[in-house]
């Protein structure tokens, strides 16, 4: 038995290709209350030293009509994390979408005082289920704790050491 491989014509970089297959149809989608999970974990090396479920105040997904990047916006309203995560640049690699954006923490004392500071974030989003009118995804962002603390003044517990934070976000946008 022989295997035949047919030649394919890949889309050259920068050329308009098909829309991202992981996105629903263009529009504005929200996460319904109770249809999301947010967890913040402090890690010291490979070991988790503290884990906390967070309250997600609002989450939205905006898919533009024209070819462009989608915008994901998560608003956290918890005693441990208050702020907004906005992701507006996306590219797809091997079944996961990598989204980059900024995390803006509200109640932090940064190097210049109690004003909000943006911190760059890379979120790897795995699409669990997709339809034309909804998207179910699980995303993970890994944040270097020391750099985050220096830039924004954010602290996630004072008595336990941490080298990085893992932010897990799961939600159903409909």
Domain contains 172: no
Domain contains 118: yes
pLDDT for position 17: 40
Q: What is the mean pLDDT of each run of 10 residues along the chain (174 residues)?
A: 47 48 90 90 92 91 89 89 89 83 73 67 92 92 91 81 92 93
Domain contains 94: yes
- The whole-model pTM stands at 0.80
Domain contains 136: no
pLDDT for position 6: 45
pLDDT for position 4: 47
Cα 59 from chain centre: 11
Domain contains 168: no
Closest CA to 36 of 129, 138, 134: 138
Cα 81 from Cα 69, distance rounded (Å): 27
pLDDT for position 12: 46
- Which uninterrupted H or E stretch holds 145? helix 145-152
Domain contains 10: no
Cα 94 from Cα 115, distance rounded (Å): 38
> What 3-state DSSP class applies to 20?
coil
Domain contains 157: yes
pLDDT for position 114: 52
Domain contains 135: no
Domain range for 149 is 30-127+141-161
Question: What's the structural domain count of the chain?
Answer: 1
């Amino acid at each position: 038995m022989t295997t035949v491989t047919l030649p394919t014509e890949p889309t050259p970089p920068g050329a308009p290709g098909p829309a991202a297959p992981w996105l629903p149809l263009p529009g504005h989608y929200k996460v319904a209350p109770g249809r999301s999970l947010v967890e913040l974990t402090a890690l010291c090396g490979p070991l988790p030293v503290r884990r906390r479920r967070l309250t997600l105040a609002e989450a939205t997904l905006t898919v533009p009509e024209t070819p462009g990047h989608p915008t994901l916006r998560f608003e956290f309203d918890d005693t441990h994390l208050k702020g907004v995560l906005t992701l507006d640049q996306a590219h797809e690699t091997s079944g996961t979408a990598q989204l980059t954006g900024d995390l803006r923490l509200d109640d932090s004392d940064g190097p210049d005082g109690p004003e909000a500071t943006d911190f760059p974030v890379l979120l790897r989003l795995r699409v669990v289920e997709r339809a034309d009118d909804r998207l179910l995804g699980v995303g993970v962002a890994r944040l270097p704790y020391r750099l985050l603390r220096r830039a924004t003044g954010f602290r996630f517990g004072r008595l336990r050491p941490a080298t990085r934070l893992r932010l897990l976000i799961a939600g159903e946008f409909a």
